[in-house]
Each structure stands twice: as structure tokens, then as C-alpha cells.
Structure 1
Amino acid sequence: MATGADLRAVREAAGLSLCGLARRTHFAKSYLSMVETGKRPVAADVADAYEQVLGVPLRPAPADPVRLAHEWLVGESPVVVQVRAGRRVGAELATELERRVVELRHLDDVVACRDLLPAVSRELADAEGLVRSASFSERVGRRLFTAVGELAQLAGWIASDAGRHAEAQRFYVSGVGAAGEASDRVLGAQLLSSLSYQIANVGDPRDAVLLARTAALGTVGATPVVRALFLERVAWASVRAADVTGTWRALDAVDEAYERRGGSGSEPEWVYWLDRSEIDVMAGRCMIELGRPADAEPLLARAIAHYPPDHAREVALYSSWLAESHARAGDLDAARDALDRAQQHAEIMPSARTAARLDVVRAVCGSG
């Protein structure tokens, strides 16, 4: 793990001030200063932020993340061991399950859906079996049902990426039930919002708008970054439904919500990935749909430049949008260059969603 001194060294080597880094992340300057001087530990999300903004790897990536995903399949989870033993479930197992959920979620950044979905599906089935058959206190039960809901959301997201949309919908809906058992309205809204994103892409966008808005309106107590995420999905559903006014209103609300974000630890872990680059990508995608590709290009190019190269699926997807922005602006040479980069990254981390996008962009670019 990198130290605070390491963070400071790479930031200064990149010629970026502490104030400048704070502006490009969701962390306060004062907090980053304490991290760099060793007064606060280097949390994983802080290291992620430095890596993304500075483009410098600070931590070794898993030597073989695909192998790690397969180890989840052949190994026996602590949930199964606990249930077989027949003991009352306590906080220790809840903590272990929460840790495993986080690990699987971050594996999704670097492991293809075909390799990760079986592992996540199995973990979800084990966790669902646990909450059906084990005994536990009310407090532990809320934590367990929350973990089930988060696993269901992750399974739905990965299944959707694999093109298994009916299965993804079943995961999302079952997760809403688990979130209800945990009395976690925000998590329930996250599941519905995720489902709205799928429907916007492969179903009736008008249904997606209704679902996305319902999720956003139903979470009055959501934290700023979570609210920004829900509003992004409102924007995407709106633009797919050709609602220009609704799209711009939602994009403006995304920026307003994100600017109110707090420091480290103030947001749920499942929204760790949403940063300014992701927000710019969504804005750029919406601008292309609205017929403003020239405005989309700088947003997409800047975001891609700051994206970790080992996140090949996202680099492929976002490069495909950059290619489309160039093509629709009339610069076919730049479009084909971006499309080539997208295809190279797509080969590293295959996904049905990426393949469908590339087919669309090839047609726009006029390439076979």
C-alpha cells in the first residue's frame, strides 16, 4: 500500500497542487493534506483517486484477477460453513460477508462478466440461503439483508453487461425485497435505478424515465454522490426518451448534487466509482444524443485520459462514445482512431454491452 509520502511525491511529480487535486476529486484539501503528511491513513478510495487523476499506479493490481474470480467458485464461502454448523449468526459473519461483497464489486472493474457472474451468482445464492435458514439478531439481520441487496445489484449489473437482461431484472427485483427487509430505502432505490438504466438501453425509455424518477424522488435522505448517481440515470433515460428539457434539468441537478459531496467515508461504498470523470462521460453521451457532438468530445477525451487502463471495459465503452462524437462532428479519421482503441480494449475485457456499442459506432463511422 502506498504511503502518504508516496502520494505527495507522485502529485508533485505531476505538477499538480494539493488544491488542484482536491478540485478534481471529492476529497477536501485539508483531508488530503493530513493523508499526505501521515496524520490520516491512506484509504483505498484515496489511492484510487490519486491513481485516476494522476494516471500513476500506486498499488499492484491482482496478478490474475480472473483466477481470483474462479477461486470464488471452487472455494467454500464462510456463509455455507456457518449455516452447516447450525450456529446462530453473529456480527463477525456479517462483517465477513460485507467484506466479500466489496471485493467482488471491485473485481467487476477488471474481470469480464463471463468470468465473474458465476462467482457473484453463487455468493448471492449462499447469502440468500443464509437469511432464509439461519437465526440472528435484528441488527445483524439488517446487515445481512443489506449485503444480499448489494449482491443482487451487482449480479444484476453483471448479468446486464453479459446481455442476460431477463436474468438481470430478476436479480434487481429480488434485491429490492432484500433492501426492504433491511429497511434500506436508498439501497432499494439503487436497485430500481440500476434497472431503469437497463430498460433505457434495451426496453421502453418512457418506462425507464418513470422508474428512474421514482428512485430519485424516493430517496430524500440519500447522500450527495448517491443522489448524483440516481439523477444521472434520470438524465440517460430522459435523453433516450427524447425529453430534451428533462435531460438538461437532470444533468444540471447531477452537478449540483455532486458539488455538495462530503469527505472520505461520507458515502456508501457502492458508489465509490462515481467521480467527475464519470459525470463528464454521462454528460458527453447525452450531448451526442442531443445532437451536440462537438461539445461532447472534450468531456469524453478528458475523462478517458484519466481512466485506469486496466479498467478495459469502461475504456472501450467510453472510447466508443468518443469515436461517435468525432464521427457525428465530421472527423472520420479521429473517429476511426478512437474506434480502433475501443476495439483493442474490448478484446481484453469482452462484454455484450460493449459489443453492441461497437456495432452501432462502426455503422456511424462507416467501417466494417
Structure 2
Amino acid sequence: MDDLAARLRRARTDAGMSLAALAARTHFSKPLLGLLETGKRTISPEHVVAYSRALCVPVTALYGSPDDPLRVAHEWLLSETPAARHAAAGRRVGPSLATELEERVVELRHLDDVIGGGDLIPLVRRELADAERVVNEASYDDGTGRRLLTAVGELAQLAGWVASDAGQYAEAQHVYLSGVSAARDAGNGPLAGQLLSSLSYQMANVGDPADAALLARSAVAGARDATPVVRALLLERVAWASARSCDTDGTRRTLDAVDDAYAARSTGTEEPEWVYWLDPNEIDVMAGRCLIELGEPARAEPLITHAVDAYAPEHSREVALYRTWIAEAYARSGELDAARSALRAARKAGDGVNSARLATRVEQVARLVGADA
């Protein structure tokens, strides 16, 4: 993000244009443009387009590296979705569209690793809307239909997750539940369970944890044919909701069940791509978070710290989020200096990430440790 800010500033100065003059050519204020160029405000694709048009500089030149996540997001916004392209070609669609959609879901899901929900949500919304339109209006055979419905269900899960990260909780709930319908129509029980458990995770964080626990357990019960890693993921959501509900025994039993489920994985069992991120480090982070909720912060801190140290730096949102839990663990253990240091590290890691979830979490921990929000 700092590199992008510097490129915007350099492009403006190379064009001999002042901030005031640039503001006059765009609908953005001079103070906002100054914050963008100094890296103090998150830069969105919309900002880059405005600079490109006002300065007559190609968007690609402003983004720099073709691997820049925001550049990838911008290019997605400008390109036509596979569903829209196939729908324009005729009402009958075949396996090739299903394959394209499956590939697009994977790409979008991995973009979520490096882009905050505030920047990713318009891409996923559009992709989901176009895919739903094809499913509702086009014709296809049964096999293609099941694949299309599964892709819609996976897009709905991602859209709900991204909307929740952006603080759009009502939208997240709506798309999660619409995705459950698609997954059930596709006969994909584990995906329906993933959607329901994702909603339970949101409810545990911003709603009634007791209701979240009930929903999470229902997701596990409904996904009877879940593979080991999927089952471990669904059980993690049960553990978190149980911890938020102050159910100590239930949380401990479920965390043990998570370990058992994950240990049962095998090379002979094909797992869905959407559990690619669940590994022992993630399991330790969730266990640590649950321990903090249960009043055992001293046991939690080493688990989370060890896991965070293994993360790639480009996964900045997760690194920042997990460092806030380290800060909370220190704070609840009475080590306020260490807590404030960990919170500073979290802020640094998450600088420029457009995530309401992260911003809210930082504010909550800042109040806990007595630091400025």
C-alpha cells in the first residue's frame, strides 16, 4: 500500500499538478488525496482510476507490479464475468462455464487472503449476482446444474465472509442463507454446513453466542458426509460459539474433537478446496482465542504467538487480527506493557488493510489496554 501511495504521488508531481488541481479534476477532496498519497488512508481501485483519468496515466503504471493484489482486484472489476459472457452467448450453458466459475471462486477466495473485505466485496457481489442469474435463467443438464449450484453456494459463502469483514452483517446473513439453498439444491451437505457455520461465526462475534452455538452444532449434524478437515472446521465454529457462550466444558470437548477430526485426514480423502487454509497453526490460534474467552490467557499467548510467527507477511489482516489476540492475552494476564507492544505490532501489520473487522478489533483491544484507539 505504501508503494502504491508513492506511485500516485510521483505520478501527480511528474505531471506538474498540485493536490488542489487534482482535487478539482476528481470528486475527491484535497485533504483525502493527501492522506492517500501519504499512506494514511486505504487506496481503493476507485481512487486509482481517478488518478489515471486526471493525469492521463495508465492504471497499470500506477499499480506497478502485476502481482499487486489491488491491481488484480481492479482488473477483475473491469473484466466481464464468465457467467455474464456465457449468458450473452445464449441461454444454454455447459460444463465449460461450470469450470470457469469453479476456477474464479478459487482465485477470489485466495484474494481474500491479501485484500480486506472493503476492497474485495464489489468483486464478489458482482460475481455472485451474475452466477445466480445464469442458474435462474439459463438451461443446462443435471450434471452442469449441480456444479453451477455448488459454485453459487461457494460464492455465497465467500460473499458472506467478505461482507462480514466489511461490517455489512445483514448482507452477510442474507447471502449465507441464500447459499445454503443453492448448496442443498446441489446435494452438497458439507457446503451447506460451511455456510451455516460461517453464519454462526458472525453471530458469535456480533450477535447472540448461544444462538450461534446452536446453529454451529446444527451445521455439524447436517454435514454428515463431511471429510475430516471439513469436520474440523465446522467443529472449530462450535468451539468458538461455545467459548463465547461461557460453556467451558463444551468448549474443551469440542477443541479435542477438532484435533481428532484433523488427525483423521488422509491423502486418500479429497478435501474441498475451501478448507485449504485450515492447518495446525490455525487450529492453535482458535484454541488460543477460546482459552482467552475461558479466562486462561497465559496458556493462550504461546499458542497464538507461535502460529503468527509462521504466517507470510502478505497475509496482513490475519497477522494483525491474531496479534490483537496476543495483546489481549497479555492484558488479561496483567502484562500491560507487553499488551501495548503487541497492539502496536498489530496496527503496523494491518496498516492499509480495508477491514472493518480488523478496525473494530483494534479499537476493542485498545480500550482494554488503555491505549489510544
TM-score (norm 2): 0.81
Q: CA deviation at 1:312?
A: 0.4
Distance in 1 between residues matched to 2:257 and 2:225, nearest whole Å: 16
| 1:141-220 alignment, distance < 5 Å | 141-220=145-224
Give the number of the structure with larger relative contact order, counting CA–CA contacts within 8 Å between residues 6 or more apart: 1
Distance in 2 between residues matched to 1:156 and 1:104, nearest whole Å: 13
Paired residue for 1:114? Answer: 118
Deviations 1:322-348 (A, max 9, x none): 011111112222111110010112223
* Stretch moving more, 136-145 or 322-331: 322-331
Does the Cα contact within 8 Å between 1:281 and 1:318 map onto a contact in 2?
yes
* Runs ≥4 residues deviating over 3 A: none
Does the Cα contact within 8 Å between 2:176 and 2:196 map onto a contact in 1?
yes
Q: Once the two structures are aligned, what percentage of the paired residues are identical?
A: 62
Paired residue for 1:16? Answer: none
Q: CA deviation at 1:73?
A: 1.5
- Alignment size in residue pairs: 308
* Stretch moving more, 182-191 or 64-73: 64-73
Deviations 1:112-134 (A, max 9, x none): 21211000000000000000111
Distance in 2 between residues matched to 1:238 and 1:244, nearest whole Å: 7
| 1:61-80 alignment, distance < 5 Å | 63-80=67-84
Distance in 2 between residues matched to 1:264 and 1:221, nearest whole Å: 15
Does the Cα contact within 8 Å between 1:312 and 1:348 map onto a contact in 2?
no
Tell me, what secondary structure is at the counterpart of 2:350?
helix
Does the Cα contact within 8 Å between 1:70 and 1:115 map onto a contact in 2?
no
Query: CA separation of 1:151/1:314 partners in 2, compared to 1, >3 Å: closer, same or farther?
Result: same
- Rg larger in 1 or in 2? 2
Q: CA deviation at 1:174?
A: 0.5
Letter in 2 for 1:261: R
Distance in 2 between residues matched to 1:94 and 1:273, nearest whole Å: 23
Q: Let me know the Cα RMSD of the aligned residues.
A: 1.3
Letter in 2 for 1:106: H
Paired residue for 1:83? Answer: 87
Aligned with 1:307 (options 305, 311, 332): 311
Deviations 1:295-346 (A, max 9, x none): 0011011000001110000000000000111111122221111100101122
Paired residue for 1:27? Answer: none
| 1:288-303 alignment, distance < 5 Å | 288-303=292-307
Distance in 2 between residues matched to 1:265 and 1:251, nearest whole Å: 22
* Stretch moving more, 137-146 or 77-86: 77-86
Aligned with 2:243 (options 239, 261, 269): 239
Does the Cα contact within 8 Å between 1:323 and 1:337 map onto a contact in 2?
yes
Deviations 1:153-209 (A, max 9, x none): 000000000110000001101101110110111111110000000000111111101
TM-score (norm 1): 0.82
Does the Cα contact within 8 Å between 1:281 and 1:300 map onto a contact in 2?
yes
Query: CA separation of 1:316/1:142 partners in 2, compared to 1, >3 Å: closer, same or farther?
Result: same
Letter in 2 for 1:176: V
Paired residue for 2:133? Answer: 129
